[in-house]
Structure 1
Amino acid sequence: MSAVRNNPGVRFLPNAITVLAMCAGLSAVQFALSNQIQGAIAAVGVAAVLDGLDGRIARLLDATTKMGAELDSLSDAMSFGVAPALTLYVWQLQGNRIGWVVSLVFAVCMILRLARFNTLLDDTEQPIFTKEFFVGVPAPAAGLLALLPLVVTARIGHDGWWSAQPVVMVWIMAIAALAVSRVPTLSLKTVKVPASTVAPLLVLVGLLAAGIIVYPLVFLAVALTLYLVHIPYAVYRHTWLANHPEAWEAPPRERRAIRRRTQRRLGLRPPLRRSVAGAARRVRLPRRNGHPDGTSRRSWRRIGLRRSRR
C-alpha cells in the first residue's frame, strides 16, 4: 500500500475529481445566465456526486493529503455556496437588493459551515456516536435543498407561489440556518451493509438509476423532501444515543434490544389484545356472581330487598 501511496498519479486522481466537482458547480451559474434551468440543476447535482466520490476514492487508495482536504473545502464552498446563491439570484432575485443580500448570506453561511466542519475533524473529545451524524445540514445537501423551488418550477413548467420572490428568499434563509445550526443529521459514511442484503440493494440501485434517467426532476424533488423529513428522526436518534452510552459501540441489533429494554423499564408495554387471523380477539371476563352461561343472578340481599314468602 505504501507503493500505491507514493505514486504521484494516485494522489492526483482524488484532487482531479475535486476540481471537476468545482467546475461542475460553477457551470450552474453559466447555465442560469443562459436561462437553462435544467442544466443548472444538473450541474449542481453532478458536483454533489463528484464530491461524494473524491473523499472515498482518496481513503480507498490511501491517498489522503492535507492539500486534498483544503481543496475539497474550497470546492464545496464554490459548488454548494456560491453557485446555488448566484443561480437563484439570476433566476428569480435579480434586480432585488434584498435578494442580493439573501444570496450573500447563504454563501457566507455555507462557508462558515465548512469552516466548522474542518475544525470538528480535529476534535478528539467528541463521543464515539457523534461520527454517525453531521452537525447541521452538509454542504451538498444544503446546496441542492436551496434549489428545490427551481426544481419544482422546472418540473411543472411554469412559476407558482413557490417561485415568488418572498418565498424564495425565506426558503434560502431557512436552508442557510439549517446549514450553520447544530441540528444533527444522519451520515451515511458509517452505514454497514450486511452481505445478505447486497443483491437486493443492487437491484434497488438499478431501479433508482432507471427512475432518475426517466424522471430526474421528480426523483430529485422526492429525495430532497425525504431528506428534510428525516431530520426529526436524526434528532431523536442523537438524543437517545447521548442518553445511553452503553449503545454507542453496539451493533444495530443490540441497539434495538437496548431500546426495547428501555421501553419496558419505562412501563411502555404492548396492548393486551392478541391478533388472531388479522383480527383483534377480545377476552371476555366472567361476571361477578354470574352463571357460566353469562346470565347474572340477582342478589336480593345486596339491593336491600327480601324475597316475599308465600
Structure 2
Amino acid sequence: MQANKRKGIYLLPNLLTTAGLFSGFYAVVMSMNNHFESAAIAIFVAMIFDGLDGRVARMTNTQSDFGAEYDSMADMVSFGMAPALVAYNFGLAELGKIGWLAAFVYVACAALRLARFNTQVGIADNRFFQGLASPAAAALVAGMVWVGIDYDIDGNEYGIIVAIVTGISGLLMVSNFKYNSFKTIDLHGKVPFVAILVVMLVFIVVATAPSLVLFIVFLLYAVAGPVNTFRSVEKVTLEDVIGETAEDADFEGASEDNVEAADKNATSSNNTVDKDTADNKDKDSKKEK
C-alpha cells in the first residue's frame, strides 16, 4: 500500500512571493498618502523578491503549478496595478481622463504581457523576452517617480511626460521587441577576480544617486529592445513590432492543427488512390482471364 502524499504548498518560494505581493500593496498605500519615494522603493524591493522566488524554487526543487499561478497573480499587483496607481497619484490625477486612461493602458498591457508569458512557458527562447518584462516596465515607471521626488519635481506640472512614459512602458510590454533575459548567465561558474571589483564599482555608482542611476539603466534597457530588433532584421514588418507571431502559443497551436489536418487529408487521399488502383488491377485481371 502506497503512502498518501502529503498535501500542501512549499513554504519558502511562496513566502518570497508573498513578500513581493506585500511590497506592491505597500507601494499603493504609500502613494495614496503622498509618500512617493517609499512607494517607488517598494516596487524595486518587489522586483528583488520576484527574482528570488523563482531561483529559490529551482534551486530547492520546489516548483509547483500553484507557485507559478500565485507568482503571476502577485506580479499583476506589484508590476501592474502598483506602478500605474503610483504614477497616477504622482502626476496623472490632474490630467482627468487622459491621466486615468494612461494608467489603465499600462494595467491592461501588464495583464496581457503576463498572460502571453504564461502561454509561452516551455516553447519560448529563454535567451530573450518577447516584449519588455513587467518588472522592467515597473522599474521604469517607479524610477521616473523616484527621480521626480529626489529632484523636487512636481509630477502634476509634468503630467504629460508622466503619461507618455507610463503609456509607452505599457505598450512595450505587449510589443514583439526582443529583450535579453540574462537567464543564460552561469551563476555557478568561476569568474575572474576583476569581476568582483566591477560589481563593487556598480554598487558604488548606484549608491551615489540610486534613483537617477536606476532610472537611466532601465530606460536604456527599454530602448535596447527596439534598437536590437531593428538591427537584427533586414526589413522591419508589423510582426516585428506588434501582433501575432510564430512564437505565440495560439498561433503555433493553430499551425500544428493545420499541419495535422493536412496530413490526414493527404493520407486519406493516398488511401483512396491506392484503393482505386487496386480495383482497376482486379478488373484488368478478370478481363484477361
Q: What's the TM-score once normalised by structure 2's chain length?
A: 0.71
TM-superposed deviation, 1:212 = 3.1
User: Aligned partner of 1:70: which letter?
Assistant: E
User: Aligned partner of 2:220: which letter?
Assistant: L
Partners of 2:27 and 2:117 lie apart in 1 by 25
Superposed, which structure 2 residues align to 1:250-265 within 5 Å? none
1:197 matched residue in structure 2: 191
User: Aligned partner of 2:91: which letter?
Assistant: Q
Q: Give the aligned length.
A: 229
User: Aligned partner of 1:150: which letter?
Assistant: V
Look up the SS of the partner of 1:185 in the other structure: strand
1:209 matched residue in structure 2: 203
1:60 matched residue in structure 2: 59
1:27–1:238 Cα change, 3 Å: farther
Superposed, which structure 2 residues align to 1:19-98 within 5 Å? 19-95=18-94, 96-98=96-98
TM-superposed deviation, 1:193 = 6.1
- 8 Å CA contact 2:93–2:100 kept in 1: the answer is yes
Q: Which protein is richer in helix relative to its size?
A: 2
Q: Please tell me whether residue 152 in structure 1 is matched to residue 151 in structure 2.
A: no
Partners of 1:19 and 1:194 lie apart in 2 by 27
TM-superposed deviation, 1:20 = 0.4
Query: Which whole-Å deviations, capped at 9, do the CAs of 1:30-68 have from their partners, x for residues lacking one?
Result: 111222121111000000111011101100111100000
TM-superposed deviation, 1:171 = 1.8
1:210–1:7 Cα change, 3 Å: farther
Look up the SS of the partner of 1:131 in the other structure: coil
TM-superposed deviation, 1:198 = 4.5
Equivalent position to 1:135, from 125, 130, 135: 130
Partners of 1:107 and 1:23 lie apart in 2 by 18
In structure 2, list runs of 5 or more residues that go unmatched.
Answer: 1-5, 235-289
Superposed, which structure 2 residues align to 1:87-126 within 5 Å? 87-95=86-94, 96-123=96-123
Query: Which whole-Å deviations, capped at 9, do the CAs of 1:167-206 have from their partners, x for residues lacking one?
Result: 2212211111100111110011112369563532222223
1:170–1:158 Cα change, 3 Å: closer
Look up the SS of the partner of 1:121 in the other structure: coil
Look up the SS of the partner of 2:129 in the other structure: strand
In structure 1, list runs of 5 or more residues that go unmatched.
Answer: 1-5, 241-310
Q: Please tell me whether residue 171 in structure 1 is matched to residue 169 in structure 2.
A: no
1:68–1:237 Cα change, 3 Å: farther
1:198–1:67 Cα change, 3 Å: farther
1:24–1:160 Cα change, 3 Å: closer
Partners of 1:92 and 1:136 lie apart in 2 by 26
Partners of 1:212 and 1:205 lie apart in 2 by 11
- 8 Å CA contact 1:184–1:231 kept in 2: the answer is yes
Partners of 1:25 and 1:233 lie apart in 2 by 31
TM-superposed deviation, 1:232 = 4.2
1:233–1:169 Cα change, 3 Å: closer
- 8 Å CA contact 2:178–2:226 kept in 1: the answer is no
Partners of 2:232 and 2:57 lie apart in 1 by 29
User: Aligned partner of 1:143: which letter?
Assistant: A
TM-superposed deviation, 1:85 = 0.7
- 8 Å CA contact 2:132–2:225 kept in 1: the answer is no
1:194–1:54 Cα change, 3 Å: closer
Percent identity over the alignment is: 32
Partners of 1:72 and 1:58 lie apart in 2 by 11
1:244 matched residue in structure 2: none
Look up the SS of the partner of 1:189 in the other structure: coil
- 8 Å CA contact 1:133–1:186 kept in 2: the answer is yes
User: Aligned partner of 1:204: which letter?
Assistant: V
- 8 Å CA contact 2:144–2:215 kept in 1: the answer is no
2:269 matched residue in structure 1: none
- 8 Å CA contact 1:184–1:238 kept in 2: the answer is no
Partners of 1:17 and 1:215 lie apart in 2 by 28
1:19–1:160 Cα change, 3 Å: closer
TM-superposed deviation, 1:122 = 4.3
User: Aligned partner of 2:14: which letter?
Assistant: N
- 8 Å CA contact 1:38–1:154 kept in 2: the answer is yes
User: Aligned partner of 1:52: which letter?
Assistant: G
1:18–1:185 Cα change, 3 Å: same
- 8 Å CA contact 1:186–1:234 kept in 2: the answer is no
